[in-house]
Structure 1
Amino acid sequence: MKKFNNDFMMGAATAAHQVEGNNIYSDFWTMEQVPHSMYKEPSLEAVDHYNKFKEDIQLLVDVGLNTYRFSIEWARIEPTKGDFDKKEIEHYREVLEFCHQKNVTPIVTLHHFSSPKWLIIEGGWESESTINYFENYSRYVVSELGDLIPYICTINEANMGKQIAKIIKRMTDTNGTNQTQKVDSGDIQVGLNVDMKEKMENYYRALGEAFGMDPRNIQTFHNPRTDNGERIIMECHEKARSVIKEINPAIKVGITFSLYDHQALHGGEAFVEQEQHEDFLNYLPYLQEDDFLGVQNYSRKIHGPEGVIKPDEGTRLTKMGYEYYPEALGNVIRFVSKHWDKPIIVTENGLSTDHDEERVEFIERALTGVHQCMDEGIDVIGYTYWSLLDNFEWQLGYDQTFGLIAVDRTTQTRHPKESLSFLGNVKKSGLNR
């Protein structure tokens, strides 16, 4: 029996825009609503977590879990530039206080993909001014709520824009054949509609009208990012960390990254080294004063002499098109630990499937890898499964089912899955193997 100690943080994660509903001041709300939208459907009420958060956290508590990672929505806190909404900060105070009442450790993310619409109009994530705007937002949240927050992730998947840039490059790369390369949904760890080239022109024209600006200047967090944008993201992180430590030095501060388990066949070693550098290693100079690192992993990529090798027809895939490979998590933790000697929190790990027994198996195998890493002396202090609830998977809408809890969106009724109880039993009793 492999047991996790009592202090180990185990639970589940959500993101505000994906679960709360009616995030009307955000850039994503705008992008979902425009004509020719690349989004399969709009988020609308999502799964109404904004109003049902107590019920949802209680379901987590009832099975024995002790940690909840969630994001505070910047577009709610600052719906227009410089105007902070006291009612909304009090909402998140209520969420945090409920966590503490239930002995649940809250891990708060300040930015999880969605941004205020006004921020994009001001230049978005390629604009120098965003550094100051994010600093001001962080200062307000931590000044108001910092005494209730033990852990803060400043930015979720800070490397996502770079990963999307590589995907877009592959989509538009003709390799001299005038045929664009096929890109699969499993190529990136986020709900991105990759069948989009022919629709993009109409979509961006509509976006330009909705944002009132040249669509070429619209820079959301999910836009392909330049090197300058990469710097801006990481300086946002540094400014937020500085503010947090100034206001409340006891808060543990980190950031999260989307990390694949990159594996090399003979001849693929250089590709793996390049991917590991681009995904993680080049960010290390910005992280030296962080307290922990958030690792987010869903699958692996295998590289040969020509680059990524696509899974063959017999490969077991998840509903998102990733290879079903729970062992990737342990491998990624080991890779990170070679370059990072502070605590690691698995801030996301999971799969989309219509068969919950696959999720149970996935969790067991992934957590076996986590436990092995801890036995090897790696300082892993927490694991939050993605996601607590079936939710809005960005451009792919509501079809993807990552959750430990199913939701009937016609009534917003919760239906806990066996995997929720299984994860709780692992926390209480350990792994069977």
Structure 2
Amino acid sequence: MKKFPTNFLWGAAMSAPQTEGHSLLNGKSASTWDHWFETNPEKFNANQGPADTSNIYELYKEDCQRMEDIGLNSIRTSIAWTRLLPDGKTLNPEAVAFYRDYFQEIRNHGVEPIINLFHFDMPMWLMEKGGWETRESVDAFAFYAKTAFEQFGDLVSKWTTFNEPLVHVECGYLFGYHYPAIVDFKKAVQVGYHTLMAHTCAVKAFREVLPQGEIGIILNISPAYARSESDADQQAKLASDLLNTRSFLDPAVHGHLPEELIALIKENELTPETQAEDTQLMAENTVDFIGLNYYQPRRVQAPTNPAKPAKMPSDLYGAYDWPEKRINPYRGWEIYPEAMYDVAIMMKNDYKNIPWFVSENGMGVADEERFLDENGMIQDDYRIEFMKEHLDYLHQGIQEGSNCFGYQTWTFVDCWSWLNGYRNRYGFYRVDLDNQFQRSVKKSGLWFKQVVQDNGYTN
């Protein structure tokens, strides 16, 4: 049996905008998702918008029991900024009551809540002022963070600021996948910088409000693997790692941006507007732990005919189609569990062996009803195999001294996934969209329960 460290956190991750429902009810104001669905519903899969999520707002008590039923000892979810502070300033008492009862219920079932503050759900009132393009967003987020710490700090000891901040940078300002669907490398860099400073100022507020707690950040880490050892391919790998991994991980852990990143940004005329105190703020407000989301590697090669200065990241590194890859056909993502070991050793060797956990890892599959057995249970052996393969490499990294304290999958119950709606399912529990969001456990949930009980598994 492969055993994991004592007190290892086994759990699942989810988010407020993808699970709560009640997206414009109970005092909540509009996020960019509410606005985009209202103005461009054709972009969303099967007309499934943010009101059609898994209805945890009403079902959280039963769901907390379901967490216990499959043995989870931890859960990560988020607070909706638009629910807690609908106008950015005024506390919504119904939201306070909901979250307090929700978090207490989680704890009552023997599950540790890890609470995140931002999961791609920018308030529309702030977006109308420029969103993350404006420095005002830094102060607005810090105020929201401080409010959340004050309201729920007695119930939650582990906090994170952002989930995958690179996603709202890339999807919103480079590739057109998320609102406002801008394609502008310089704006993307500015948005990324303001997000980094919002994180930094939220950590500062945390130290003032909850000095005994722990705070981190959730980053999507896709290690870059170069096509070859050639200088050009290795330069592409360096550029990818600087932009996609080290841009947030270095400041969060080491307290400063990499000098090579600053030089790369300057060389390509992308330098963002900053303030004099930012460097000191970064240095003084590092994190206690890191959450790393891993799904797929990043394969890179030297770009062909790049623009100079770079107009897009593809001018700094090109995508490489590795001929030996395995693919999850439903997402088009490469399955490469070996990277879990590489990430573990990277954290040990390059990031002070800071405490870290796998904050997301999972496999999305479409049309899972194909795998329903005669008892109505989805036989998702593919998901179990995916988790075991990744846990094998994580276990190896831990055995070699990497300071990993937990593994959480995406996700607990099938959830709404932005423009994709419910096309791909990830949960330990199936959600029946035709029957008032009723849940039923999948085979993977029962397998995971045994893993938690044994604090390990056999191959």
**Structure 1 272/223 Cα, relative in aligned 2: closer, same or farther at 3 Å?**
closer
The answer to whether the Cα contact below 8 Å between 1:120 and 1:219 also exists between their aligned partners in 2 is no
Aligned to 2:327: 316
Worse-matched range after superposition: 280-289 or 95-104: 280-289
Q: Determine helix, strand or coil for the equivalent of 1:253.
A: strand
1:242 is the counterpart of 2:242 = no
Tell me which of the two structures has the higher relative contact order, counting C-alpha pairs closer than 8 angstroms and 6 or more residues apart. Answer: 1
* Aligned counterpart in structure 1 of residue 385 of structure 2, from 342, 352, 361: 361
Aligned to 1:174: none
**Structure 1 225/400 Cα, relative in aligned 2: closer, same or farther at 3 Å?**
farther
* Aligned counterpart in structure 1 of residue 114 of structure 2, from 107, 131, 140: 107
The answer to whether the Cα contact below 8 Å between 2:80 and 2:118 also exists between their aligned partners in 1 is yes
* Aligned counterpart in structure 1 of residue 83 of structure 2, from 60, 76, 89: 76
1:368-414: CA deviation from partner (whole Å, max 9, x where unpaired): 11111111101001111011111111111111111111100122110
Q: How many positions carry a matched residue from both structures? A: 387
1:53-107: CA deviation from partner (whole Å, max 9, x where unpaired): 2222222211222000000111111112312101101111111111211121110
The answer to whether the Cα contact below 8 Å between 1:404 and 1:416 also exists between their aligned partners in 2 is yes
- Structure 2: distance between partners of 1:35 and 1:228: 26
* Aligned counterpart in structure 2 of residue 290 of structure 1, from 284, 287, 290: 287
Q: Determine helix, strand or coil for the equivalent of 2:87.
A: coil
**Structure 1 383/91 Cα, relative in aligned 2: closer, same or farther at 3 Å?**
same
- Structure 1: distance between partners of 2:442 and 2:41: 35
- Structure 2: distance between partners of 1:391 and 1:225: 31
Aligned to 2:338: 327
1:31 is the counterpart of 2:32 = no
- Structure 1: distance between partners of 2:246 and 2:40: 40
* Aligned counterpart in structure 1 of residue 220 of structure 2, from 234, 254, 258: 258
* 1:290 partner letter: V
- Structure 1: distance between partners of 2:186 and 2:329: 25
The answer to whether the Cα contact below 8 Å between 2:173 and 2:181 also exists between their aligned partners in 1 is no
Aligned to 2:264: none
The answer to whether the Cα contact below 8 Å between 1:60 and 1:420 also exists between their aligned partners in 2 is no
* 1:394 partner letter: W
The answer to whether the Cα contact below 8 Å between 1:99 and 1:105 also exists between their aligned partners in 2 is yes
- Structure 2: distance between partners of 1:166 and 1:34: 19
Q: Determine helix, strand or coil for the equivalent of 1:226.
A: helix
* Aligned counterpart in structure 1 of residue 419 of structure 2, from 395, 405, 415: 395
1:13-62: CA deviation from partner (whole Å, max 9, x where unpaired): 11111111121222211111214642223132311111112222222211
* Aligned counterpart in structure 2 of residue 384 of structure 1, from 397, 404, 408: 408
- TM-score, normalisation: structure 1: 0.84
* 2:443 partner letter: E
* 1:4 partner letter: F
Percent of residue pairs bearing the same amino acid type: 26
The answer to whether the Cα contact below 8 Å between 2:222 and 2:245 also exists between their aligned partners in 1 is no
For 1:1-40, what aligned pairs fall within 5 Å after superposition?
Answer: 1-24=1-24, 25=29, 26-35=31-40, 37-40=42-45
- Structure 2: distance between partners of 1:336 and 1:243: 26
Q: Unaligned stretches of 5+ in structure 1?
A: 172-191, 194-206, 208-217
1:136-161: CA deviation from partner (whole Å, max 9, x where unpaired): 11111111110111111101112224
* Aligned counterpart in structure 2 of residue 343 of structure 1, from 349, 355, 366: 355
**Structure 1 318/385 Cα, relative in aligned 2: closer, same or farther at 3 Å?**
farther
**Structure 1 315/75 Cα, relative in aligned 2: closer, same or farther at 3 Å?**
same
**Structure 1 230/167 Cα, relative in aligned 2: closer, same or farther at 3 Å?**
closer
* 1:348 partner letter: E
- Structure 2: distance between partners of 1:70 and 1:51: 16
* Aligned counterpart in structure 2 of residue 120 of structure 1, from 127, 140, 153: 127
- Structure 2: distance between partners of 1:87 and 1:235: 30
- TM-score, normalisation: structure 2: 0.79
* 1:398 partner letter: Y
- Structure 1: distance between partners of 2:420 and 2:100: 31
Q: Determine helix, strand or coil for the equivalent of 1:254.
A: strand
The answer to whether the Cα contact below 8 Å between 2:327 and 2:334 also exists between their aligned partners in 1 is yes
1:428 is the counterpart of 2:453 = yes
Q: Unaligned stretches of 5+ in structure 2?
A: 256-285, 304-317, 372-379
Shift of residue 135 of structure 1?
A: 1.2
- Structure 1: distance between partners of 2:187 and 2:348: 27
**Structure 1 313/286 Cα, relative in aligned 2: closer, same or farther at 3 Å?**
closer
Worse-matched range after superposition: 279-288 or 308-317: 308-317
For 1:162-311, what aligned pairs fall within 5 Å after superposition?
Answer: 162-164=169-171, 168=175, 192=177, 218=180, 225-266=187-228, 267=230, 268-283=233-248, 284-287=250-253, 288=255, 289-306=286-303, 307-310=318-321
